[in-house]
Amino acid sequence: MRTAKTRRMNVGYSLSSLSAARMAEASACFERLDREAPNITLTAALTGFLEGYHARAASVTMATLWESFIATKSTASPPYKQKLKSTAKRLHSLRNMMASDITPKAIEDAIAGFPPSSKNAVLAYLRGAFNFGIRAGVVQQNPVDRLEFTKIVRDQTQVLAPETVEKLLRDAMDNDLALTPFLVLAFYAGIRPDGELQKVLWSDLDLNAKRHHVTIQASVAKKRRKCWIDLSDNVLAWLWEYRARGGSTEGRINTIQHQHAPA
């Protein structure tokens, strides 16, 4: 009884310490929550706002994020750095926005008029920039992860030079670690990017036996027959480096939905 009485007295004291204006404002907030979000408490609403407020306070403009991201590419080739700079210029509508405020919709609007192949390239660069921003603590999530890459159907197979493939893999390793095993197995193991590689699990890879291979289950294989693909030394080297950098080896190999697959 004494505890309940003390609690009532404390509540009464707390309310009496509020000005009339604050009490009126609190009442208006409760009314709005009851009307627009009846299942949300005032404390939850305030907590959500403060999380966004602090995230925005720690963020930087997209222009600054691009500059910092490009600065990390000191050893990249001049053409690659030029592509990053030109991409930043083309996304002028995002330039002065806070990076933490950029939504998938804002990105879609920014690239609406781009050709399909250009959209995919820009999204890849943007994803790298936002992943860098996450590591730098200026954004909390990557809005590109919620966007679809455009599927491009080509009339004939394109051949990529070995040095181009290496650059793509090194860039993924540095800026988009989760994408690395997908690219490695698509480029070097010959697993079909569309269909098969989307469904292969890490448990299908045998990286510890004397003869390393990946199992393509019948339910995954194009011809519905179980098969095995031997893994070359360069595949193993990339995958072991991926694991050494903390890459996940649980679940599906391709954890990025709607990933644009290499040709």
**3-state SS string for the chain:** CHHHHHHHHHHHHHHHCCCHHHHHHHHHHHHHHHHHCCCCCHHHHHHHHHHHHHHHHCCCEHHHHHHHHHHCCCCCCHHHHHHHHHHHHHCHHHCCCEHHHCCHHHHHHHCCCCCHHHHHHHHHHHHHHHHHHHHHCCCCCCHHHHCCCCCCCCCCCCCCCHHHHHHHHHHHHHHCHHHHHHHHHHHHCCCCCCCHHHHCEHHHEECCCCCCEEEECCCCCCCCCCEEEECCHHHHHHHHHHHHCCCCCCCECCCCCCCCCCC
Least confident among 60-69, 134-143, 210-219:
210-219
The pTM score is 0.49
Mean pLDDT of 186-194: 80
Amino acid at 200: V
Residue-level pLDDT at 110: 92
Check pLDDT > 80 for residue 158.
Answer: no
Residue-level pLDDT at 96: 92
Residue-level pLDDT at 131: 92
Check pLDDT > 70 for residue 83.
Answer: yes
Mean pLDDT of 7-19: 55
Q: Are 150 and 116 in contact (CB under 8 A)?
A: yes
Mean pLDDT of the chain: 78
**What is the signed CA dihedral for 72, 130, 201, 230, rounded to 10 degrees?**
-30
Residue-level pLDDT at 175: 82
Least confident among 99-113, 119-133, 213-227:
213-227
Check pLDDT > 90 for residue 168.
Answer: no
Check pLDDT > 50 for residue 200.
Answer: yes
Mean pLDDT of 110-126: 86
Distance CA 222, CA 220 (A): 7
